Structure 1
């Protein structure tokens, strides 16, 4: 929090509206234009870390290290050293004198960003489409080994926000699907797998970052405000974050956008209130890149400023580093807050064992050459040397990458059993997206084009391909008679025979709004939910020529298929999602019947865009002032909205076909714990370290004599005159405009509070549900997806809830014809609860009521139901939607 200065309320005060400005920072004033019912209630101060018993040892050891640090060392490690001022996407400062190194932060959603000798994994949306917990975890384990092998301390993932509320959202493909439980379980497994290698995971983006356009604060406009009511926040968007923290995520990244009018990076309700009090988060909170801004981020709970620069990163300036040193000396940021944020960082580093034998960073994001500048943004003054050791970390990770890509392939149609194909059948492959980009797989920076195989979206979450196994190469390896037409317009072809099969490839792309691709500004604002490159026309033209057409769709999310889905010639449709580097064999294994398709949709596909509410189909546009995106649909996104309004989707959430058939029988439900209206209280908090400390002398804030500074590198030191001036300001009794509601008294726990995710009793298992799954087919083995949805009781004491809600899922092993297995799923206390906005707690609205637990293989194919009140189960029921 900066010293008070001159009040500015003009159109030039662009970033923050009416605020207080001085050279040392600025103060955010009243928020404007947010609807009255959406409030970012102030929550101060930041709850101390260290009270979770599982973190106690790490905090004790960290506190001993922090106690030895100088003021400048503390402020140095809580910020990045500047954009392109180190080897990694982000590089923290260090405190080498006491043994704390510079930490390397690395993207992305598909592997190690901007590195060589790595695996290009299928991204989150593909992983979610597997509906396979073991495979989700195996992918994460492989990714964790690669990040560790490259010397990345902190993985900037997983992404569970955006959750997929808006089908056109640009970064939906980085997450796992348009449902909080699918996101939660996949995100938690990803955290668990990556962190087993000692790499710190970063669950992101907190919260409401559901579109790319207008998300960021910039010199001409405030960032979009996601206006979310408290119940919707908890039951939809916060749900996967709670699971991720319970899984032990060491870091959380805030979003670019505001929530209820308050920028996420300094939203005290989100960070102090929900994250660190209610959800008991013990790790550290970082800003997204360049989202930090002047204002009260430190006292709102931010712990790490990334990448360190101001929002315009050209001048070697920072809102923290030396400024945070100044704020501590002048008394505007309390010492206990600085000590807490510093201890959180060191404790997390220690908890994951990075103080012992963690590899040094061995690559540089700016070059694939061995020799380069250490600090490219300091050119021509940067020292240079060896920056890339070409460490190979791929091992056999292509196997799990291929398995994910293969088991995600979702068959939506297979008339006349056209699939699987015989390898001797004549095949006409049509579409430029069956081959690798002719310009090279990495020709477009950050994959910011839609040329060739679409293995990932674009933006910061991508990796460089070491190779692509493209579909046409794989098809040619397998089939005897293949002709390829690398065009997105129907080519001139010989007169087909009745045996000819056309395989048509179409795509839909999206990404981060740092790039515009074919007039799509990150979000699919130009092409919408239609296939790119006139893909619908290509399918229709091919269907007019051939009597047997297979459509293969590589896509970031749902597309509309109505123009061609019912054409008689379109016999089969495969959604291959985004396959990463293993696009070829993963597809041909399904095409030629080596395996049955077993993917299921992680979102719904509607007949038309207007089947969903305008609040999710329309992207928020430009506004004078702050753009407002009000989540007026509340709990009702994707299948929840369709079911509530009796709208049938073309293909439902969770839908997917196989080459065989499965039966679900012999369902049972077993109570495990007693269900009560409210959960038992969380265990008491352990004592926290003593973070209090007198403000240090100004001597701790100045650099050593004759220290040489690298231009544009961010340092935490002040000049002697600035340091003395800051102390003098405090001694003269200057006061500071702390936000309304600010207090220094530590907060009491919220009713739902608990360590690392919230009250642990919310995860008590209330019921086990088991079902026998049998492969009822005669010819093909296959894997079944078992999905469990809850239907709440009816009654005046039960608030409005979606008709059904996913609560758990499992995938079987590969079952041979006639083979059967028993699958057991769990229902927790939270699964049967709603968020009570009055008591601020999870409440089971009708403990004695009849919760109907539906079992099936998609949200609209539910075969069995079990009842919590009677313990009975029955089959042969009509699906509730």
Structure 2
């Protein structure tokens, strides 16, 4: 989400008529074959066994609510109208509280006494599922400790299709399986603390610029994605998140195949709630709702922060829902059963995470650091009170934060085993990225500047540092002879000796389109994949002066390196990604051999940006038209594209060196489930308890303003004046509503469901383990140091099938729990599910195994281009010491 930055950040101009009946102007045509088909009605929740108890409780509570009470918990109370970045209405009469929704993916945003964890991209680079879970659990504990009901994360969309994409760093890497497994572990960790995780952004939010419906200027771009690509890439991590029980999903700002994400019935009703059997709630991104009735019918459950724009004037207490949703239910435009389902989904998520018992209320403010302040900062006149209790929730979470930062560090180059360094060598450090921001570690709102060390990108995915352990301070604690040049321009330096070591710190930043930083509008549109602040020249000049240069890169994603990577004096290169508060010792312990690097690239680093398909470039068209961002590359992004074209990257996806000397032996494969071409039939879809709720239009009196109610200006309420409620009821009770329902609309619930569908993630058979693969990894006895080893499993489909498939695709990964000392071994196990060996068949609309008895090759190794082990599914044999397919 974002806070508005002037009118530029406000969407929702393209509305006509009253909010309750608003429709979009006719949209620009999308390319042939990409139209979003209508899918109605919204399937009821509550039919999955793992949510049944929560729905039973929720239905009981909702059955006691009035119309206004139901409506009140399906929207926020307004931007800046509470302590949190989002605050829902409540039902005090029945004990249902206002719910607090809070950013962001790497820590509790805009408050203090918290931990600023490493970003998602760093987390993905660890390739350590257990550690990812621990990070999630620590984040969840902090959100609970602050009284936040919802953690607005993790982010798995953007998937990383566009290397310049502004928010790629909030996710875990440019591969759907890496995103899926890291997202799933994060969800489990967070929700094990009783906090509702919010998987985002569904779907196609791969570019920041032009993502929103701008006030009178620009429609949001349309991400045009074909059916197979949608399932096999962009929906994949969401499916795994749903399978893990995520309680909430956030729709994206942009359109998908021409239909805005927050009212896209095919995505929300069809794919998410029917095919994936999602039982939780769907919310908008902030200020992304662009219609009232249409979004309700399309499957939206929660409008955040509740405000929309009326009469082109923002933030004046205008909403497409709240009182307008009440009106729409009374006049028959929105069926009562849709409201029942919306409300029940919100309440069920609350019960599902156990928040009905001893859950703390918010004890912080997103709006001020002061102890006391206005309770409703967005109001013209607001009562005041205590808004910050300064509760410290850090516990010992700096330990897991440091471990993530350290295990993410990816050693790309280490000529002559130059690293680790000796503390006796004189050290000369260059680049402002080595130090904390001299103007203050939190001096830029939401990290909207690249000044000093780059520990996180900018925007709503950032958090305040409680402190920052910067590299230069850590180096000075470790090494007696350190000279630091706090400049990004190479200075005049004394003639170095052959033993002197130069460490050059450089960076590349990105973030949310709510801010423009050094002419980059969220995406890296100005700087591209080059280093910021003249970083390439700084490295080149250091390499011309010193014989021993180490490059440390803090970056949101891939950067090109060709101007310096092969220079003889550039002995070592490390990518430290975005390390958060623990940037110092986590790095220097690797530099000096106290820990071995064990990170692996969560994306490819190309030789040139032109190595990517042209279709993944940033897109723009003239004002007032809808930008068409067509995913014509299909399945072929990142390493999939490079492998298909035979283009060798500078460093491949999954690449990462170690001070240890790992080898793989004793590989084996075992069949677990016999595969058929088509999965077993999905289980029958049982009746939902939501259907038992009263679906008749309630009395108008349920919507009347309470007598003598003291209103807060701009606070959003669900009630209507009695004359307006009566007028709406008169229309609804006589069935004379004339709302222009969208094509294909029906209010009759579908029986059964799509063949690929099922509860919590899709057909349960898709998650059956088909094969397990194990291999022994050994650190050579002659290795200088120990280290943690990673095994990555890539599937190569049989060559004689009728589907075009990438050369290899990541399907699982594992990491040793402890560092392996020289001579030590460990066995790593990987698994492949039915879905891992399937393709999405657009004709049958199902996952199919194209060759159940055919030869799938499972390549195992330490990187996508280093897979010395292959196991075959037809013979159940493995070979070791082979050359991989790329």
Q: TM-score category by the smaller chain?
A: over 0.9
Report the equivalent of 1:874. 879
- Are the aligned partners of 2:519 and 2:526 in contact in 1 as well (CA < 8 Å)? yes
* Match of residue 308 from structure 2: 310
Q: Are 2:106 and 1:110 equivalent residues in the alignment?
A: yes
**Aligned-partner Cα distance in 1 for 2:770–2:278:** 25
Give secondary structure in 2 for the equivalent of 1:452: coil
1:699 to 2:695 alignment: no
- Give 1:293 shift: 1.1
Correspondence for 1:767: 771
Deviations 1:470-492 (A, max 9, x none): 00000000011000000000011
SS of aligned partner of 1:349: helix
Aligned to 2:189: 193
User: Matched residue of 1:858: which SS?
Assistant: coil
Segment of structure 1 superposing worse, 726-735 or 275-284: 726-735
Q: Distance in 1 between matches of 2:768 and 2:314?
A: 47
Q: Which residue of 2 aligns with 1:717?
A: 719
Cα separation, 2, equivalents of 1:791 and 1:837: 21
Aligned position for 1:728: 730
Name the CA distance, whole Å, in 1 between partners of 2:846 and 2:710.
55
Could you say which residue in structure 2 is the equivalent of 1:39? 35
Aligned partner of 1:454 in structure 2 is 454
1:298 alignment partner, one of 296, 299, 303: 296
Q: 1:259 to 1:732 in 2, by over 3 A?
A: closer
Matched, 1:170 2:172: no
Q: How does 1:733-772 map to 2 (within 5 A)?
A: 733-748=736-751, 749-772=753-776
Q: 1:876: how far off?
A: 2.5
Equivalent-residue separation in structure 1 for 2:619 and 2:561 (angstroms)? 21
Shift of 1:30: 4.4
- Taking a change above 3 Å as real, the CA distance of residues 871 and 504 of structure 1, as seen in their structure-2 partners, is same
1:233 counterpart = 2:235? no
Change in 2 beyond 3 A, CA 1:422/1:787: same
Alignment partner, residue 386 of structure 2: 386
Unaligned runs of 5+ in 2: 1-10
How far off its partner does 1:164 sit?
Answer: 0.2
Cα distance between partner residues in 2 of 1:16 and 1:373:
30
**Separation (CA, whole Å) in 2 of partners of 1:725 and 1:234:** 45
Cα separation, 2, equivalents of 1:752 and 1:442? 48
Q: 1:799 aligns with which of 803, 827, 843?
A: 803
Contact 2:333 2:737 survives alignment (8 Å): no
Between the aligned partners of 2:770 and 2:31, the Cα distance in structure 1 is: 39
Structure 1 distance, partners of 2:555, 2:726, is 58
Q: Give the aligned partner of residue 782 of structure 1.
A: 787
Cα deviation code 1:169-228 (max 9, x no counterpart): 000000000000000000000000000000000000000000100010122211100000
Alignment of 1:389-468 (within 5 A): 389-468=389-468
Contact 1:610–1:617 under 8 Å retained in 2: no
SS of the equivalent of 2:17 reads strand
- In structure 2, the partner of 1:79 is 75
Decide which of 121, 132, 138 is 2:117's aligned counterpart. Answer: 121
CA-to-aligned-CA distance 1:31-68 (integer Å, 9 cap, x gap): 32200110200000000011001111111111111011
Structure-1 residue corresponding to 2:7: none
What residue number does 1:8 align with? none
In the aligned structure 2, how far is the partner of 1:22 from the partner of 1:695? 21
Deviation (angstroms), 1:23: 5.9
- In structure 2, the residue matched to 1:211 is 207
- Report the alpha carbon displacement of residue 687 of structure 1 after superposing the two structures with TM: 2.1
User: Counterparts of 1:179-190 in structure 2 under 5 Å?
Assistant: 179-190=175-186
Alpha-carbon displacement from aligned partner over 1:99-151 (angstroms, at most 9, x marks no partner)? 11000001002100111100000010000000111111110010010000000
User: Which secondary structure does the structure 2 equivalent of 1:105 belong to?
Assistant: strand
Match of 2:3 in 1: none
The corresponding residue for 1:11 is none
Contact kept in structure 1, 2:12 and 2:288, CA below 8 Å = no
Q: CA RMSD in A?
A: 1.2
Equivalents in 2 of 1:267, 1:453: separation in Å?
40
* Count of aligned pairs: 865
Q: 1:864 aligns with which of 862, 869, 872?
A: 869
**SS state at 1:27 partner:** coil
1:202 aligns with 2:198: yes
Q: TM-score, normalised by structure 1?
A: 0.97
Deviation at 1:622, TM superposition (A): 4.3
Separation in structure 2 between the aligned mates of residue 647 and residue 624 of structure 1, nearest angstrom: 38
CA–CA separation in structure 1 for the residues paired with 2:306 and 2:408:
38
SS in 2 for 1:253: strand
Distance, in Å, in 1 between the alignment partners of 2:737 and 2:679 is 47
1: CA distance between counterparts of 2:46 and 2:520?
A: 45
Tell me the CA shift for residue 22 of structure 1.
3.6
Does the aligned pair in 2 maintain the 1:798–1:846 contact within 8 Å? no
Aligned counterparts of 2:670 and 2:190: Cα–Cα separation in 1: 33
Contact in 2 for aligned 1:87/1:365 (Cα 8 Å): yes
Return the match for 1:814 from 807, 816, 819: 819
d(CA) in 1 for partners of 2:348 and 2:784?
56
1:697 and 1:15 map into 2 onto residues whose CA distance is 32
| Aligned equivalents of 1:410, 1:117: Cα separation in 2 | 30
Partners of 1:286 and 1:15 in 2: CA distance: 16
Q: In 2, distance between residues paired with 1:878 and 1:376? A: 63
Query: 2:6 corresponds to which residue?
Result: none
Counterparts of 2:648 and 2:87, CA distance in 1: 49
Determine whether 1:264 maps to 2:266: no
**SS of the residue 1:723 aligns to:** helix
- Residue 322 (structure 1) shift: 0.2
Q: Distance in 2 between matches of 1:29 and 1:800?
A: 38
**Equivalent residues in 2 for 1:555-634, closer than 5 Å:** 555-634=555-634
Given that 1:205 and 1:255 are in contact with CA atoms closer than 8 Å, whether structure 2 keeps it comes out as yes
Indicate conservation of the 8 Å contact 2:783/2:822, yes or no: yes
Gaps of 5+ in 1: 1-13
The residue that corresponds to 2:4 in the other structure is none
Q: Aligned to 2:131, which of 135, 146, 150?
A: 135
Structure 1 residue 803 displacement after superposition: 0.3
Give secondary structure in 1 for the equivalent of 2:881.
Answer: coil
- Residue 619 of structure 2 contacts residue 627 of structure 2 at CA under 8 Å; is this kept in 1? no
Query: In the alignment, is the contact (CA less than 8 A) between 1:16 and 1:29 conserved in 2?
Result: no
Look up the match of 1:62. 58
More moved, 610-619 vs 548-557? 610-619
Please tell me whether the aligned partners of residues 53 and 686 of structure 1 are also in contact (alpha carbons under 8 angstroms): no
Residues 547 and 516 (structure 1), Cα distance of their counterparts in 2 relative to 1, 3 Å cut: same
CA contact (8 A) 1:437 1:451 kept: yes
Question: Could you list the per-position Cα deviations for residues 329-373 of structure 1 after superposition, in whole angstroms to 9, with x for gaps in the alignment?
Answer: 100000000001101111110111100000111001111111111
Match of 2:857 among 852, 860, 863: 852
Distance across 1 between alignment mates of 2:596 and 2:302 = 47
Q: For residue 374 of structure 1, what is the aligned residue in structure 2?
A: 375
SS of equivalent residue, structure 1 residue 28: coil
Describe the shift of the 1:621–1:456 C-alpha distance in structure 2 as closer, same or farther (beyond 3 A).
Answer: farther
Structure 1 consecutive aligned stretches of length 4 or more whose deviation exceeds 6 Å? none
Q: Distance in 2 between matches of 1:821 and 1:863?
A: 17
Instruction: Please give the secondary structure, in 1, of the residue aligned with 2:138.
Output: helix
User: Following TM superposition, by how much is the alpha carbon of 1:313 offset from its aligned partner in structure 2, in angstroms?
Assistant: 3.8
| Partner in structure 2 of residue 327 of structure 1 | 328
Match of 1:9 in 2: none
Distance (Å, rounded) in 2 between the aligned partners of 1:188 and 1:217 = 31
Deviation (angstroms), 1:29: 5.5
Given that 1:530 and 1:560 are in contact with CA atoms closer than 8 Å, whether structure 2 keeps it comes out as yes
* Contact 1:125–1:602 (8 Å) recurs in 2: yes
